[in-house]
Amino acid sequence: MVAECRIATKNVGRINPESIDDYLASGGYEALKKTLQLKPEEIVFAIAKSGLRGRGGAGFSSGMKIKFTGEATCQLLECMRFIVCNADEGEPGTFKDRIIMEGNPHLYIEGMIIAAYAVSAEKGYIYIRGEYTKSIAMTRMALAQARERGFLGSDILKSGYSLNIDLKIGAGSYLCGEELTLLESLEGKRGYPRIKPPYPAEKGLFGQPTLINNVETLAHIPAIIIHGVDWYTRLGSKKSPGTKIFTLSGDVALPGYVEAEMGVTLRELIDQFGGGVSGGKKFKAALLGGAAGTFVPESYLDVHMEYDTLQAKDAVLGSGAVIVMATDKSIREMLNSILRFFQHESCGKCVPCRVGTQQLLILLEQINGARRDKEKAFAEMLRQSEIMAKTSLCPLGQSPILAVKSALTHFSHELYVDMR
């Protein structure tokens, strides 16, 4: 039996999230106090040594990012560093950040202040999706309490370090969760992506060095500072230490979230924490990572859920979303709703994605209507999504290939037969 292991969801459901005193009584802001006794470089070193990887989806090394941002030279005369927390959480099937923001908001705010100190940021923004009204209210309340107790604002705990954090409410665009698009939106512009490089660490918000991290990533930082790198690296796997919040939905008896060590298997997540496939049905597939994710079949049930193991098997961990499908569910229908989602969320700025998302849907509808040779049509879908992956301007247009390719690899037998 695998046990839950709570770092980012620590104390969720156990303390009153509206009370800073409850947070303080559970050891809250001790990591910040310790941080302020250390040099910023020591915090950067600790995060790098911990092996923490971004929990927003890409799994990029948080240590490298924080190091690059801290070392980046400002390109403008008036130099200012920023920290931005990505709380947009738009990936279908993903609701992990909401759990932290609603259940223990001071934890990620404390992590954000520590990360800000490490890169000497003077100003921070939390970008939250507008639909998350409770997360917004809880975060707003926590920020006010932190300010009142001297954990935020000028001369934090008389350390000489000052930081202000403001909230920005998103307007419901999936693309605005992509870091560079988010920065455009924060600057008050339309949510169109920027070309990378330059990366935010070098030229981010208002052209200044910017550290941008996901809520869950930041929620790991206080524990790393308090318990140390050795403690953290003992959890999870060698290349992906720590824990991950997985959100279980679809045909699972007990939908919800679970935080477990990286490397837990899909079977453990579904059977042990999710209570098995709902209604006593049989497992057919899981969509891992949401719409920008991959279908995996039964043979993946004992694969370890961590970035590199999944990548080696042409699957992704992404945001940690696990959407379970029983045998009575259609892969073709799920693929259809994923492609509709991308068509709807495409910003239209570049041709491969604007036209490609439309064409993928047309092809799938032709197949559903049995108006084409299915095998040929699916080969055309794959070619189309490969072109999109190679030529689209931003990662949104590069994402449909994941679902299309994994559906074809593992479920071609189902896709090619007429299921109507």
Ligand X SMILES: Cc1cc2nc3c(=O)[nH]c(=O)nc-3n(C[C@H](O)[C@H](O)[C@H](O)COP(=O)(O)O)c2cc1C
Amino acid making up residue 225: I
Each residue 285-314 as x (binds ligand SF4 by CB under 6 A) or -, in order, gives ------------------------------
Determine, following the binding rule CB under 6 A, whether residue 385 of this chain makes contact with ligand X.
no
> Using the rule CB under 6 A, is 175 a contact of ligand X?
yes
User: Is residue 347 close enough to count as binding ligand SF4 by CB under 6 A?
Assistant: yes
CA-to-CA distance for 14 and 336, rounded, in angstroms?
Answer: 40
Q: Name, in order, each residue with C-beta under 8 angstroms of 285's C-beta and a sequence gap of 6 or more.
A: 295, 296, 297, 298, 324, 325, 329, 331, 410, 411
| Partner whose binding site includes residue 193, from ligand X, ligand SF4, none (CB under 5 to 8 Å by kind) | ligand SF4
Residue 215, amino acid: V
DSSP secondary structure code for residue 3 in this structure: P
Distances from the Cα of 70 to the Cα of 80, 81, 91, 305, 405, angstroms: 11, 9, 29, 31, 39
Binding flag, residue 63, ligand X (CB under 6 A)? no
| 399 contributes a contact to ligand SF4 by CB under 6 A | no
**CB-wise, 170 or 193, nearer to ligand SF4?**
193
By CB under 6 A, is residue 397 in contact with ligand SF4? yes
Written as six digits, the tokens of 381 are 């879908």
Neighbours of 299 (CB within 10 A): 9
User: Would you tell me the crossing angle of helices 351-368 and 374-391 to the nearest 10 degrees?
Assistant: 170
Does position 96 bind ligand X by CB under 6 A? no
Q: Using CB under 6 A, which of 69, 104, 237, 346 touches ligand SF4?
A: 346
Question: Which of 88, 202 has the CB closer to ligand X?
Answer: 88
Residue 60 found at the interface with ligand X (CB under 6 A): yes
Q: Which entry of ligand SF4, ligand X, none binds 408, CB below 5 to 8 A by partner kind?
A: none
Question: What minimum distance in Å lies between the beta carbon of 145 and ligand X?
Answer: 24
What is d(CA 154, CA 394) in angstroms, rounded to the nearest whole number? 38
**Judged by CB under 6 A, does residue 396 bind ligand X?**
yes
Q: How far is the CB of 345 from ligand X (least distance, A)?
A: 7
Of 418, 420, 381, 370, whose CA–CA distance to 403 is shortest? Answer: 381
Residue 175 found at the interface with ligand SF4 (CB under 6 A): yes
Residue from 36, 38, 48, 58 touching ligand X (CB under 6 A): that is 58
